[in-house]
Chains A and B, each alone.
With several copies, the nearest count.
Chain A
Amino acid sequence: MKKLINDIPDVVKEQLEGMAVAHPDALSVHFEPNYVYRADAPVAGKVAIISGGGSGHEPMHGGFVGMGMLDAACPGEVFTSPTPDQMYEAARAVDGGAGVLFIVKNYTGDVLNFETAAELAHADGIKVQNILIDDDVAVKDSLYTAGRRGVGTTVLAEKIVGAAAEAGYDLDKCADLCRKVNMYGRSMGMALTSCTVPAAGKPTFELGEDEMEIGIGIHGEPGQKRMSLTSADEITAMMTAEILDDGPYSRTVREWDRDNAEWVDKSLTDAPFKSGDQVIAFVNSMGGTPVSELYAVYRKLAEICEARGVKIVRNLIGPYITSLEMAGFSITLLKADDEILKFWDAPVNTPGLRWGA
């Protein structure tokens, strides 16, 4: 294992310490429980946007804390979901009176811990809502399973909903927007190499010199299928097809009913992409793939979208939701209406994403 780390138990803590000294203007870090929060939190009257999950996906989530995006991020151990006390304490720290939206990637551990946190926050009189991100088309069947994983769309949702909160949206409107973004976004990822969890010390899976793993998640878990390595154009075409050809997707999500203080099931079905759609295209590095290679991918993606009548109106290209040092990439397409574009273009000032400020 070749990493720039010290003692393995300190890896996450020391990286958070580094963030804190590097970006005092944007954010602060609280330890025990661990959470990164906006330097100027709580922002009175603004809905607070909080996300979190296992560490190892940097800059997500901690790097997205700041004006126009997240109010707080709760990092667990590497690839392990955080505990409810982190989200609960973070909510108490950043709630500006307008309530807290938890953006939760759909993994059982994350879901359950965020749900517990929501109950604790609610008991404290904090207005709270949980919205799931489950955009990974590599996971097919969903009716009786844990469903699709939350991947690339998470980054776009944090940016867009963060801007909406900044613009004065109330909690329900933020939740509605976040739900819409999730239903409009679909992703697919692949790996050229595995990654190594520090505590494990060896790669999570082995890949041959001419093999690649298609349909991976973001925790170094094996993917949908293993194939022999081929050209950037062929890989991009295959993954883009998985996204564009993916049919309607139905699942039941659980959201919080504030009035009756109980969880209610919501059945959601989102529509496939169709010719004429406007999209934000997000080409993401899994960590070890340099941006130069992402441009070769983007070139082909743009060509295919054009041929399919899908209009790319914005893009994001780089390492934003990673799996440690894994080489590989993911493509996320997000159907973008005027509301989404307006908040995408709005100023954001975080260590990991910045424009207009």
Chain B
Amino acid sequence: MSVTRDQIVAWLEESATVLMANKELLTQLDSAIGDADHGINMARGFTKVMEKLPTVADKDIGNILKTTGMTLISSVGGASGPLYGTFYMRSGMAIGSKEELTDEDLFQLLKTGADGIIQRGRAQLGDKTMIDAWLPALDALRAALDDHAGTVAAVRAAVNAAEQGVQDTIPLQARKGRASYLGERSIGHQDPGATSTFLILKALLTTLEDD
């Protein structure tokens, strides 16, 4: 099965919806080990994305993703702005002018985006960041695709892995971002950025399931 341009647009819309629905949760998580603004930042960014989307909804997927990245970069600020912004910019560049994606394209989209985050933020697995959601999700997705699971099933596997990754951030001591200033006091709290990453992947699943 393939993922259409309209489904990508629907994914971004669904992402905005779930992130805003979880604004309080993300901010509250950030207040424990950060500066209590992650939900506010993500909501501000995706509100802007929703304003921009109509102007590019009929363009190719690369264009849509790059516009999303640029919009996040220029509206969020903080650490998550350039990180998520880079995710969409890089994935957009990888996909280029395609208007429909194979499963392999979808994997490349997510993989290139996540690699961009790693390159930018230099976080490794276990640093208590969004990377702790992205990497397990990508491994699960890769494995599922190799087992010739369908798109939806593969993405579901990725989402479940991300959810587990979020849980796994709780016992970690932060080594990147604001939380790292807290040293040991960062242990025992769930990472807000990993949580928002899980929500974005869940939004993708919801979108694909709808069809």
Chain A interfacial positions (CB closer than 8 Å to B): 33, 76-77, 79-85, 107-109, 112-113, 115-116, 139, 141, 144-146, 149, 200, 217, 219, 221, 254
Contact = CB atoms under 8 A, between A and B. Distances in A.
A236 B52 CA distance: 40
Interface centre among A108, A113, A200, A254 (most CB of B within 10 A): A108
A82 B83 CA distance: 14
Interface centre among B82, B121, B176, B180 (most CB of A within 10 A): B82
A79 B36 CA distance: 11
Given A112-B120, A116-B86, A83 B175 contact: no
A149 B182 CA distance: 12
Interface of B: 35-37, 73-79, 81-83, 85-86, 120-122, 127, 174-178, 180-181, 183
Given A112-B82, A113-B82, A116-B82, A81 B180 contact: no
A139 B181 contact: yes
A139 B183 CA distance: 9
Given A115-B120, A141-B183, A146-B178, A109 B74 contact: no
Nearest to B181: A139
Q: Is the interface of B mostly helix, strand, loop or mixed?
A: loop
Contacts of B86: 116
A76 to B, nearest CB: 5
B181 A83 contact: no
Contact of B180 (A85, A109, A145): A145
Nearest to A223: B181
Contacts of B120: 112, 115-116
A58 to B, nearest CB: 18
A83 B121 CA distance: 16
Contacts of B121: 108, 112
Contact of B82 (A33, A80, A115, A219): A115
Contact of B77 (A82, A200, A217, A219): A82
A144 B82 contact: no
A80 B74 contact: no
Given A112-B121, A115-B120, A80 B78 contact: yes
Nearest to A252: B122
